């Protein structure tokens, strides 16, 4: 990558972070340092087979200045993914979401300001709130911020900090807001891996409320290629929405998974709804496609789901211990 030789990836042991690190190692010559607190959501196993001379894992907190400042100073580029990422957890206990997502981003921004490093902030479409199920509109870079949950409000706060540091201090930053990712190494607390592993355990997919809510699915490899495209060609100070035209209701996704796994399509359960549940997300990603020439590779959601099912079949040793703890917490909430 031109000008990108030493990349610090925060949250690089998480789902998207680990897939992104693999993408960078495969598609560039850059050396990568991962800074990750190794919370319950981390999977250092996902980095274990990458070459040791290309990838180094540092265990630490993005909200800790003493850890962050010297690390940032030793890199030309920072890609910031570290976050508390699960909406349901943010409803149970918002505090870590404020500390990591808001304070952590502030600490990193101060460090890149001092070191004059390039910064890319990985954010979410949830900052825009939700759309009605019958609304033909999609989110664009100009949609007003209207977050619903403690998670999305904390991510919205972090986006505002990044823009303020660009404007006030000339920090060289870009932002991307992506829709729902799926693929290998996603924690079993999230919708698609939860339902795949429920079926693999002989139980039924569990849909919140009436299951009609819509998410806009993108394969994690397409998110990684979008991030690399923005790092290489993105304009400083700009925001890019990332999406792959993958709108489906939760019910439609559950039915696809059941069919692909050889079970009757109506073999699911409706359970207690999420408080404040966002109805629909939908991304218009024309700016990224037209200005930077990015295209998603996974056009067919069912094909991506079939690959993901096979991955979870082959990685039971990784997900089984996480599954037990996750399902105990959901059961306590009637979900
Ligand atoms: P994840 O929960 O799988 O991984 C998060 C990683 O961050 C974990 O490895 C965790 O240990 C680490 N982390 C948490 N707190 C930390 C701290 N204080 N210091 C250092 N590391 C810390 O999350 P994900 O799904 O991979 O999401 C990654 C990023 O992408 C997040 O910023 C999220 O908001 C954003 N995003 C996610 C999606 C999605 O669909 N999952 C979509 C759009 C944007
Ligand atoms: O849109 C991007 C966001 O997508 C990211 O910013 C978040 O980090 C990521 O977690 C994801 O947020 P969601 O809340 O949309 O994802 P989740 O997988 O938790 O839920 C997806 C949908 O499925 C949502 O409508 C809630 C529903 N759901 C979820 C679970 C876990 C169910 O119906 N049943 C379930 O068991």
Which residue among the candidates 36, 61, 125, 327 is catalytic per the annotation? 125
Distance, CA of 252 to CA of 249 (rounded, Å): 5
pLDDT digits (tens, 9 = 90+) for 278-313: 999 999 999 999 999 999 999 899 999 999 999 999
Instruction: Give residue 185 CA to ligand 2 midpoint distance, Å.
Output: 16
CB 216 less than 6 A from any atom of ligand 2: no
**How far is the CA of 72 from the CAs of 67, 94, 117, 134, 219, in angstroms?**
9, 27, 7, 45, 29
What pLDDT was estimated at residue 4? 82
CB 125 less than 6 A from any atom of ligand 2: yes
Instruction: Give residue 60 CA to ligand 1 midpoint distance, Å.
Output: 14
Q: Where are the domains of the chain?
A: 6-182+218-242
- Checking if the pLDDT of 2 tops 80, the result is no
Tokens 């991506």, residue? 304
What would be the CATH architecture of the domain defined by 6-182+218-242?
Answer: 3-Layer(aba) Sandwich (3.40)
Ligand nearest to the CA of 222: 1
pLDDT digits (tens, 9 = 90+) for 54-105: 999 999 999 999 999 999 999 999 999 999 999 999 999 999 999 999 999 9
The per-residue pLDDT of the chain, averaged, comes to 97
Distance, CA of 62 to CA of 80 (rounded, Å): 9
Mutate to test the pocket of ligand 2, among 159, 188, 190 (most ligand atoms within 8 A of CB): 190
Distance, CA of 53 to CA of 72 (rounded, Å): 19
What pLDDT was estimated at residue 248? 98
Residue 78 Ramachandran class (φ > 0 left, ψ -120 to 50 alpha, else beta):
beta
Considering only CA atoms, which residue is closest to atom 14 of ligand 2?
A: 87
Instruction: Give residue 254 CA to ligand 2 midpoint distance, Å.
Output: 13
126 is catalytic: yes
Tokens standing for residue 208:
């919140």
Distance, CA of 271 to CA of 198 (rounded, Å): 14
List the helix and strand counts (H, then E) for the chain. 12, 13
Geometric angle at alpha carbon 100, from 179 and 182, rounded to 5°: 25
Query: Looking at the whole model, is its pTM more than 0.85?
Result: yes
What is the Cα 10 distance to its own chain's centre?
12
pLDDT digits (tens, 9 = 90+) for 39-68: 999 999 999 999 999 999 999 999 999 999
Q: Report helix, strand or coil for 275.
A: coil
CB 86 less than 6 A from any atom of ligand 2: yes
User: Could you say which DSSP state residue 316 is in?
Assistant: H
- Checking if the pLDDT of 244 tops 70, the result is yes
Distance, CA of 24 to CA of 31 (rounded, Å): 9
- Checking if the pLDDT of 24 tops 90, the result is yes
- Torsion angle of the four alpha carbons 268, 270, 272, 273, in this order, in degrees rounded to the nearest 10: 100
User: Could you say which DSSP state residue 328 is in?
Assistant: H
What pLDDT was estimated at residue 299? 86
Instruction: Give residue 216 CA to ligand 2 midpoint distance, Å.
Output: 11
Closest ligand 2 atom to Cα of 281: 1
Average confidence (pLDDT) over 16-28? 98
Percent of the chain residues past pLDDT 70, beyond the cut: 99
- Checking if the pLDDT of 224 tops 80, the result is yes
């Amino acid at each position: 990558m031109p000008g990108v030789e030493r990349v610090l990836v925060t949250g690089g042991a998480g789902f998207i972070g680990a897939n992104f690190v693999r993408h960078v190692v495969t598609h560039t010559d850059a050396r990568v340092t991962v800074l990750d607190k190794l919370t319950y959501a981390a999977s250092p196993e996902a980095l274990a087979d990458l070459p040791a001379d290309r990838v180094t894992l540092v265990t630490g907190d993005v909200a800790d200045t003493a850890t962050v400042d010297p690390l940032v100073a030793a890199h030309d580029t920072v890609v910031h993914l570290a976050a508390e990422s699960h909406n349901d957890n943010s409803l149970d206990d918002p505090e870590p979401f404020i500390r990591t997502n808001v304070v952590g981003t502030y600490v990193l921004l101060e460090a890149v300001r001092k070191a004059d490093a390039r910064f890319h902030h990985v954010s979410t479409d949830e900052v825009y709130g939700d759309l009605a199920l019958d609304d033909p509109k999609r989110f664009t870079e100009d949609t007003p911020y209207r977050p619903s949950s403690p998670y999305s409000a904390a991510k919205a706060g972090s986006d505002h900090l990044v823009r303020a540091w660009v404007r006030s201090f000339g920090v060289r930053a870009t932002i991307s807001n992506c829709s729902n990712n799926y693929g290998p190494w996603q924690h079993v607390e999230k919708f698609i891996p939860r339902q795949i592993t429920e079926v693999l355990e002989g139980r039924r997919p569990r849909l919140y409320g009436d299951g009609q809510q819509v998410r806009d699915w993108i394969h994690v490899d397409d998110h990684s290629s979008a991030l690399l495209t923005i790092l290489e060609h993105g304009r400083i100070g700009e925001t890019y929405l990332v999406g792959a035209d993958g709108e489906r209701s939760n019910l439609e996704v559950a039915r696809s998974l059941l069919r692909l796994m050889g079970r009757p399509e109506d073999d699911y359960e409706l359970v207690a709804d999420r408080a404040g549940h966002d109805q629909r997300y939908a991304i218009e990603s024309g700016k990224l496609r037209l200005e930077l020439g990015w295209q998603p590779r996974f056009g067919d959601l069912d094909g991506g789901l079939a690959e993901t099912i096979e991955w979870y079949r082959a990685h039971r040793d990784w997900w089984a211990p996480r599954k037990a703890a996750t399902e105990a917490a959901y059961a306590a909430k009637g979900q």
